[in-house]
Amino acid sequence: MTNWKDPARLAEVYLDFIKLGHVLAGLYIWEFVSNLHYEWAFIVGKRKWLWTLGIYVTCRFSALLFTILNLIGMDASDPINCQVWIIWSLVFASLALASGSFLIVVRISAIWERKTPVILLATSIWLINVAFWIHDISRSLSVWNSFGGGCLDLFTSRGQPLSIVTFLTDTILLTIMLVGLWRKGELQKSGLWRLLWTQGLTWLTLAVLVEIPMIVMLYLNLNDPWNLMFQTPALLVLVIGATRMHRALTNWGSVAEYVSTRQAGLRTTPSTSGIGFRTGPSTSPSTTLPVRPIEIAVHMCSDHDSATQTHSDKTFFKSDLESGPNV
């Protein structure tokens, strides 16, 4: 029977952990840099700054800072304050995951038409997860490795409750979002409905695929390196998935808004029901509606007086983006 606590075995697994950490760091830095054009569009004014961008930026930059700190902790050759290192590493990791989860809350608020009970439920679930992150940070402990250098995270099994709560939080929030979309089944011919539905299923699949292995290894508790082995992959995969889906939705909205405006021929009356985005006011009836980039928050709308109109991709879309979150 393998002795997972054997020093030689620990050194071997820890080396594998460090190699994996460097590969993941390279992948995330490449992902971060290759998509900086999205943030740059806001800086130069090609896109209008809206509140949901703050969540997106927090998610991306927190994951980047976590990645940098992770490299420092693994590669430091001279002693550093490892306790400060682990605290700040966990702070940025928690911010990245919390921001990614909050993007789901934003979608829930929009899809459920800002219904107070649903918003309170989703926000409460999210806050419970945040509380567990704070508790985990308060229990963290790291010491300097006097033999091989770098910082060693100790008592890693402390993350067992947090891993379960994080998985349940993501699963419940995504289920609430998908149920909200399912209730709007009459919109299935809408391109935006299909996009949101596909993204929701993809998000849920990612959560299951990356968080279940992490939970299993934490509860097996073979040793500290194995407990940590799947945590960084889970974090970065969820962050990349959340931010990519955010960009895909905003880019889809910009195109759909343009096509809808051109095809509508200056029509400004919403159709039966749809998911979508509201353009800005036109200066006159004969002026083409301005095309504006949108953000992630979208909501369902309906107009029972327009029952004779079809709800296809030509639907005139609406959005409540500029009003900010009601959560």
Which residue carries 């770098």 as its tokens?
A: 150
The tokens of 324 are what? 């900010």
pLDDT confidence band for 280 (50 / 70 / 90): very low
Structure confidence by residue, pLDDT tens digits, 241-265: 999 999 988 887 554 443 444 444 4
Of these ranges, 47-56, 281-290, 303-312, the one predicted with the greatest mean pLDDT is 47-56
* The pLDDT of residue 258: 37
Among 64-78, 148-162, 272-286, which range has the highest average pLDDT? 64-78
Rounded to whole angstroms, the Cα distance separating 47 from 294 reads 8
CB 258 within 8 A of CB 291: yes
pLDDT at 91: 97
Domain made up of 7-258: CATH architecture: Up-down Bundle (1.20)
Count Cβ atoms within 10 A of the Cβ of residue 71 and give its class: 0-12 exposed, 13-18 middle, 19 or more buried. middle
Instruction: Give me the phi and psi of 230, to 5 degrees please.
Output: -100, 0
Of 60-64, 145-149, 216-220, 222-226, the least confident: 145-149
Q: Model confidence at 46, in pLDDT bands (50, 70, 90)?
A: confident
Residue 184: which of 99, 298, 300 has the closest Cα?
A: 300
Provide the CB-side half-sphere exposure for 179 (13 A, CA).
9
The average pLDDT across 1-25 equals: 89
> For 113-117, 186-190, 286-290, which range has the lowest pLDDT when averaged over its residues?
286-290
Tens of pLDDT, residues 58-90: 999 999 999 999 999 999 888 899 999 999 999
**Distance, CA of 198 to CA of 209 (rounded, Å):** 16
pLDDT score, position 249: 85
Give me the pLDDT at residue 294, please. 36
Q: What is the average pLDDT score of the chain?
A: 80
Asked if 319 and 294 count as a contact pair (C-beta separation under 8 A), the reply is yes
> What's the pTM value of the predicted model, to 2 decimals?
0.78
Supply the pLDDT for residue 251: 80
pLDDT tens digits for 93-140? 999 999 999 999 999 998 898 999 999 999 999 999 999 999 999 999
Residue 39 has pLDDT above 80, yes or no: yes
